[in-house]
Amino acid sequence: MSIKLELENISKVYKDGDSSIKVLDEVSLQVKSGELVALVGPSGSGKSTFLSIAGALLSPSSGRLFIDNIEISKLPPSKLTEFRLSKIGFIFQMSNLLPYLTVKDQLLLISELTGGQTTVANQKADELLERLGLTNRKMNYPENLSGGEKQRVAIARAFMNDPEVIFADEPTASLDAERGRTVVEMLANEVKKRNKAAIMVTHDKRMLDLCNRVIFIENGRLTEK
């Protein structure tokens, strides 16, 4: 399996007047294709900062980040947005669907942003929606979907640009245990089938058996158990 995501001695320090706060302390991690890695830790442990840096939304104070063997810090700002659109998929705690777009149009918008061909995009959107059991909901608007359905749409949307890495931030927080497990099972299956890499931040220990590895973060340091 190839390495899709690599963090090498990443630190993040915030200045607070004359003092400084180290949120991440030289963390290193590799995630290979086909892997779903859970990231767990208490509030204030650095999970959000870690995810923001790994997802190329925030620059580290030191260290290097590689996605698909490309070092992010060497990309000019003008290329970074394009890189995120083409290489990274995000799934958030709340599905963050656009209320004025149908289910299928949520996916087609991603293709438009990345300059995809209409015919190919239509076929891809239909395939993803079928795999996630949403074919009969593709013309519905978000207000007519259940919480579980919204998160499944969010998963489909995250895979629409065929990214190399997926980041999921508490994707089951708004769901009951059964629907939450279904969503994570679908995420794990898509990651494995498509040889992608994924990191999922979660507080729900009932989902950990669905992940290939579990990484703990506390006081800005990573440990694997």
Percent share of the chain, pLDDT over 90: 48
The answer as to CATH 3.90.1510.10 being correct for domain 3-97+146-224 is no
Residue 178's Cβ-count burial label (10 Å; 0-12, 13-18, 19+) is exposed
Maximum pairwise Cα distance, the chain = 58
Over the chain (225 residues), what is each successive 10-residue block's mean pLDDT? 92 85 92 95 88 92 93 85 88 85 93 79 90 91 91 88 90 81 87 92 90 93 86
Rounded Cα distance between 57 and 24, Å, is 15
Give tens-digit pLDDT for 133-177. Answer: 899 999 999 999 988 899 889 888 988 888 899 999 988 887 788
Q: Starting from the edge strand earliest in sequence, which strands make up the sheet with 36-40, in order?
A: 88-91, 165-169, 197-201, 36-40, 213-218, 221-224
Q: Are 206 and 198 in contact (CB under 8 A)?
A: no
pLDDT value of position 114: 73
Strands 197-201 and 36-40: parallel
